[in-house]
Chain A
């Protein structure tokens, strides 16, 4: 029986980053910076603030890279650090739960056609314009895939608060989407 040890490029890169190889660190940064910066922007819409969050997160990643044991994907690991750093920033700097009265939408948008017509940038703007509390819960639940229990623990809120924040976020987004749908239809005409 032969034992084959296959090391991917990424594993090699991580290995070098563990030795604080500056070139490897830069390579790793360049591989993930755009994706991770987008994550930060989803939580912290102000670009300069998002940059600060990304910097501290990357420094943490390079400092604590030994803690990555290879369980799960490396991207998942660094993404969690990005999200956690964003949440830390939000907790420090924002009053999170801004209540906004939202009228529930009377009809649903056509998600199929929206998916084709809308660019990621457009959806990004919609998310960013949500109030911080809604945005945070929506990001965690819908995109990162956290459960309400995890969100409640992460943000120090009750599960019910998390649920209500999520439903409000959805209602707001739905409203926004209907509006853009109308605009898109008018453009086509």
Chain B
């Protein structure tokens, strides 16, 4: 027990015993802290930060530059094509508006003529599809083309309802000059214009598209036309679906775009 008592005596008195050191002690500590410490953490931090900045900046520039260029190229080509096509369409409009005014009278006649007209219109619808196929690259012009086809379908519908056809058609002929143009123009000339458009688009394009795909889209659109009882909204919906699924040639553009991106990605990877 005496050992414990002795230990406790010293422990109690000395454990929290205080003895102030010389006042100069802090200054000596202060000096010593400055040398090893104040620099090292900040130097390492700043080096790490600058490295990180450099890496991130180079990464951003290297990654973004080729993509931006590619996108700009694609957009530029699209723009030129749309202007070309719109010019063509405008030209067709001008030449054919005069003829279109004579057309409603012909429609007015007999049922046979109506049938003929129907056939004619189907053909023309196909030809417009051709036009549309040519225009497929730029999305904006494609939308107008698809509008034309649906309007054609409307006209066909209205031909079935014999009475009101003529007046309605006159309205439509004046408003939708493009649709009228297709109706009044003989097939051959439309083919010619479409051919010229192909040339135009070829000169402006850097991408070449498979014609078989256009054929496919033509048949699908033709099939849609035979389904005349479908509502207009449903037809537009189907058309949109086709475009989305890439059946009308948009998929090819998408694939091409993906290829470009993949290529640029590889480039960067190297």
Contact = CB atoms under 8 A, between A and B. Distances in A.
Interface of A: 20, 22, 25-26, 29-30, 33-35, 37-38, 41-42, 50-51, 54-56, 58-59, 62-63, 108, 111, 114-115, 118-120, 123-124, 127, 138, 141-143, 145, 170, 173-174, 177
B17 A120 contact: yes
Nearest to B36: A63
Contact of B37 (A20, A108, A127): A20
A59 B10 contact: no
B21 A35 contact: no
Interface size class of B (residues with CB under 8 A): 20 to 34
Contacts of B112: none
CB-based closest 10 A-B pairs: A34-B18, A142-B7, A37-B21, A111-B5, A38-B19, A120-B13, A38-B17, A120-B17, A34-B20, A59-B32
Contact of A124 (B6, B12, B14, B25): B14
A130 to B, nearest CB: 11
B9 A114 contact: yes
Candidate in B5, B6, B8, B36 with the most chain A CB atoms within 10 angstroms? B6
Given A35-B17, A111-B5, 9 more contacts: A20-B37, A26-B30, A41-B19, A63-B36, A111-B8, A143-B14, A170-B6, A170-B7, A173-B6
B33 A25 contact: yes
A143 B25 contact: no
Interface in B1-55: 2-3, 5-22, 25-26, 28-30, 32-33, 36-38, 41
Contacts of A58: 29
18 contacts: A22-B30, A26-B30, A29-B26, A33-B20, A35-B17, A37-B18, A38-B14, A42-B17, A55-B28, A58-B29, A59-B32, A115-B12, A118-B13, A119-B13, A124-B14, A142-B6, A143-B11, A143-B14
Contacts of A123: 9-10, 13-14
B37 A62 contact: yes
B194 to A, nearest CB: 73
A29 B29 contact: yes
B17 A108 contact: no
Contacts of A174: 2, 6
Candidate in B8, B29, B36, B38 with the most chain A CB atoms within 10 angstroms? B29
B28 to A, nearest CB: 5
Contact of B33 (A33, A41, A59): A59
Contact of B25 (A35, A51, A114, A142): A51
Contacts of A127: 10, 14
A63 B33 contact: yes
A60 B7 CA distance: 30
